[in-house]
Amino acid sequence: MINLSKELIRQIIADGGFQTLKDIGDYLKDPYGIEISAEYVSHITDVVIEHARLWQNRPLGSVYPFVFMDAIYYKVKEDSKIKNRGVKDVLVFIVDGLLGFKEAISASYPESVIQRCIIHQLRNTFKYVSYKDSKEVMNDFKLVYKAINEAEALSALDIVEEKWVKKYPTAIRIWRDNWDVISPFFSFPQKIRTIMYMTNII
């Protein structure tokens, strides 16, 4: 029987996205050159699931400067899983635009800063912008999220709004409506902003 290394098992967990046993078999065949039966693939999934379960329930530290959350569905409001696992304080939660994230986090960690992922904010913006204008609009919004401070960012947003609001009102509105979770970004130095820029770090 083939013995998979712990590193390879971790890689399978990290990559994920498999729909069938054949998908996992193909994954191991290319690029690893390992050919295995469906029965052994089933064994692998059992091992991977157990490793994933142990990882998901591992003890956590009491304090974290940043916690990244990207489309994770669980009850934070009533019974915070991370709080139950020992997390007492978080400086900043970087989150995507999942509805209810802000309220759920605030209920369990009222002193924490909640920061909207800038990449998710931009992606959401461009749902409402035609492709032919997307490059120009992107360049204009760079003046907002690359601003030195919040005052400069708001001034840049005013300019973007004046230029585009008639054509793309929703694209502008979602920045105004979410400014309370976008603006914390500007109170941090550039090196920290690089970390906070997106949830994709996870």
Instruction: Name the residue with tokens 């890689």.
Output: 11
Q: Backbone phi, then psi, for 138, in 5-degree steps?
A: -60, -45
**Which is higher by pLDDT, 82 or 111?**
111
Q: What contacts 92, CB < 8 A, 6 or more positions away?
A: 65, 66, 67, 112, 113, 114, 115, 184, 196
Where is mean pLDDT largest: 5-9, 66-70, 114-118, 198-202? 114-118
List of E strands, the chain: 63-69, 89-95, 113-116
Closest CA relative to residue 168, chosen from 200, 137, 144: 137
Please state the rounded mean pLDDT for residues 143-156: 96
R_g (Cα) of the chain, nearest Å: 21
The pLDDT-based confidence of 197 (bands split at 50, 70, 90) is: confident
Over residues 166-184, the pLDDT tens digits come to 999 999 999 999 999 999 9
Res. 17: pLDDT tops 60: no
Maximum alpha-carbon separation in the chain: 67
Closest CA relative to residue 95, chosen from 73, 75, 126: 73
Please state the rounded mean pLDDT for residues 84-113: 88
Over residues 27-71, the pLDDT tens digits come to 666 665 667 677 777 777 787 778 778 877 888 899 999 988 876
